[in-house]
Amino acid sequence: MDPYKMVISCTNQKGGCAKTTTAVNIATALAEGKKEMGIEPAKVLLIDLDPQGNASTSFGIDKSKLDRTVYDLLMNDLGEELPIIEDYLIAPEIITDSMQQTWRQSNPDKKMPKSIKVENLWLLPSNIQLSGAEIELATRIGRETRLKEGLASAIQEFDYIIIDTPPSLGLLTINALAASNWVLIPVQTEWYALEGMSQLMNSIKLIQRRINPHLKLFGIALTMYQRSNLGNTVSSEVRKHFEKQVFSTMIPRRIQIADAPMEGVPVVILNNPNTRKHKGSQAYWSLAKEVSRRVKKLRHKHGIKETSRLKMHKIKHDLD
């Protein structure tokens, strides 16, 4: 695997830290792009590796009607490369339809915003069937690298692959870290969040030594921030220990961020980020801008010239 491909696990074993919300909104913002912020549209794959399937729900996906999920990918015992793009992913058009249907159900008397659509985002969904995967994988050969093997045919097809992991350090999260080059850690700005950081960093170091030497810390995102002594103290502590790894943007605790999954649309496209009212949307766009800039700096530093997979996809689509 190219050690500088953007395969990013959004990981924290602590629940309630806005991990799924962060993965969903960064993936959507990077796929959408925003010229005035210097974010170029990208071809993005979002992987829902949480049995709760919250990342799938964020787009209004009806999980009871899914034919194939990430569970089927992990349980493949054929030992051969899978045609993942054709057989397992939900395409942008279907994601758009799901979002629009869910939004109409939640807002029957309102006119639907034109912004509720995605063009460059694919989803590998999950549902409750995945809850038994850790037990089933325990006796399987290559149990820690099942996801990596399943993604082999997709690595070169996307500009970004973002993995939403469960709130634990179990076998599913190990699969995500084994398949990734980078880790993005959302940290809730509350005191208990600091306690789990050392355990998570130790787990990452162990996976670096034993399974995936290419794994690196991409960044730490401070989430659910409230302007208070506690919020400022936790923020300062995290910045003191991790310095440049912490993103400047802090995601505030906002009601519109919490409400967005109910309407089946990520907050970055549900709310206009150009208005003061929608600070949650602004914050996630700002975080996506930092992610995009950090990727450009990394590639420039190591002399990596990546051809946009989105441009290649559009050229291929036009030829077909």
pLDDT mean by block of 10 residues, the chain; 320 residues: 82 89 97 94 96 95 91 77 73 97 94 93 94 88 90 90 93 95 92 78 92 94 86 84 90 91 93 76 96 91 84 77
User: Contact at 8 Å (CB) between 241 and 88?
Assistant: no
Quote the pLDDT of residue 183: 96
CATH architecture label of 7-319: 3-Layer(aba) Sandwich (3.40)
Quote the pLDDT of residue 54: 94
Quote the pLDDT of residue 1: 55
Report angle CA 130, 81, 77 to the nearest 5 degrees: 50
Q: Domain residues of the chain, as ranges?
A: 7-319
Quote the pLDDT of residue 299: 86
User: Contact at 8 Å (CB) between 70 and 122?
Assistant: no
User: Contact at 8 Å (CB) between 45 and 161?
Assistant: yes
Q: Which two tokens stand for residue 13?
A: 């074993």
Residue with tokens 């899978």: 82
Q: Which two tokens stand for residue 199?
A: 């355990």
User: Contact at 8 Å (CB) between 46 and 121?
Assistant: yes
Quote the pLDDT of residue 109: 92
CB 175: neighbour CB atoms within 10 A?
29
Rounded distance, CA 94 to CA 122, Å?
Answer: 9
